[in-house]
């Protein structure tokens, strides 16, 4: 079953209790487009595929609804997340947290339970490095909450965040401890903290207030 050459059926997470269960890509609940909700590439607890939803915004009737790519972009703009949908004049057209990207993967210190070897790869390029929010809050761009991972390590970190396994919880605790230690007497951190306090703090606060005042007050209600 295909629609406009887009995959419409997804299986549950491999090796889960629903690994052989078919899940049909939902319709966009904003514009009504068939089988167009965006698959996030990850799974919720229980192995069910995770489809993306609109930004939580108390001023929008579509707040928290399943959405297609086009509606997601519109929702980001409506929610004031210019860095996620368009240029931001404060940061020269880059996402705010991109200013805090390092030129190496910080998992070279083994904070995720293994040592990343991307530093041994020639010409890996800046496009392979992602900024990760330690506490998963994308409205918290404080330098303490940002770490740089290569694409592979970032996806592994996302995987263990969605896991309930005890071993993964221990890894995340170790990661947070390592992150705090790495920032002590760090010239990079002091420089970025000054920029954060001068430019970014007010932006984060505005977005946090918008989220806290939004319908439902938390994202969890939309993912139940």
Encoding tokens for residue 170?
């221990």
pLDDT digits (tens, 9 = 90+) for 153-199: 999 998 888 887 888 889 988 999 898 888 887 887 888 888 778 77
Distance CA 175, CA 167 (A): 12
Do 145 and 43 share a structural domain? no
Distance CA 31, CA 179 (A): 42
Do 141 and 208 share a structural domain? yes
Do 23 and 124 share a structural domain? no
Residue listed under structure tokens 């489809």: 51
Do 106 and 184 share a structural domain? yes
Do 192 and 109 share a structural domain? yes
Whole-angstrom CA distances from 104 to 62, 98, 119, 122, 192 are 39, 13, 7, 12, 16
pLDDT of 112 reads 93
pLDDT digits (tens, 9 = 90+) for 136-152: 877 778 888 889 998 88
pLDDT of 92 reads 39
pLDDT of 89 reads 41
- List the domain range (segments joined by +) for residue 155: 85-212
Encoding tokens for residue 2?
């295909």
Residue listed under structure tokens 């269960």: 21
Do 116 and 195 share a structural domain? yes
Question: Whole-prediction pTM value?
Answer: 0.53
Pick from 79, 109, 130: which residue ends a domain?
79
Do 99 and 186 share a structural domain? yes
Q: How far is CA 150 from the centre of its chain?
A: 14
pLDDT of 156 reads 92
pLDDT of 87 reads 42
- pLDDT category of residue 4 using cuts at 50, 70 and 90: very low
pLDDT digits (tens, 9 = 90+) for 80-138: 554 444 444 444 334 566 677 888 889 999 999 999 988 777 666 556 788 888 888 77
pLDDT at 45 over 90: no
pLDDT of 153 reads 92
Residue listed under structure tokens 């404060």: 90
Q: How far is CA 217 from the centre of its chain?
A: 19
pLDDT of 101 reads 80
Pick from 58, 79, 100: which residue ends a domain?
79
SS3 state of residue 83: helix
């Amino acid at each position: 079953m295909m629609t406009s050459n887009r995959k419409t059926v997804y299986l549950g997470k491999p090796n889960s209790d629903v690994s052989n269960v078919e899940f049909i890509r939902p319709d966009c609940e904003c514009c009504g487009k068939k089988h167009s909700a965006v698959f996030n590439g990850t799974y919720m607890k229980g192995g069910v595929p995770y489809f993306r939803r609109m930004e939580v915004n108390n001023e929008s009737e579509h707040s928290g609804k399943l959405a297609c790519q086009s509606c997601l972009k519109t929702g980001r703009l409506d929610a004031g997340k210019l860095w996620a949908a368009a240029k931001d004049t404060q940061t020269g057209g880059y996402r705010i947290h991109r200013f805090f990207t390092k030129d190496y993967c910080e998992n070279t210190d083994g904070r995720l339970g293994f040592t990343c070897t991307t530093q041994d790869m020639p010409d890996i390029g800046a496009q392979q490095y992602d900024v990760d929010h330690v506490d998963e809050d994308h409205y918290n761009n404080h330098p303490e909450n940002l770490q740089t991972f290569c694409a592979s390590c970032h996806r592994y970190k996302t995987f263990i965040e969605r896991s309930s396994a005890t071993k993964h919880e221990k890894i995340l605790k170790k990661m947070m401890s390592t992150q705090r230690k790495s920032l002590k007497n760090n010239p990079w951190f002091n420089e970025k903290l000054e920029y954060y306090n001068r430019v970014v703090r007010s932006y984060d606060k505005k977005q946090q207030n918008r989220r806290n005042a939004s319908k439902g007050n938390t994202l969890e209600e939309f993912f139940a």
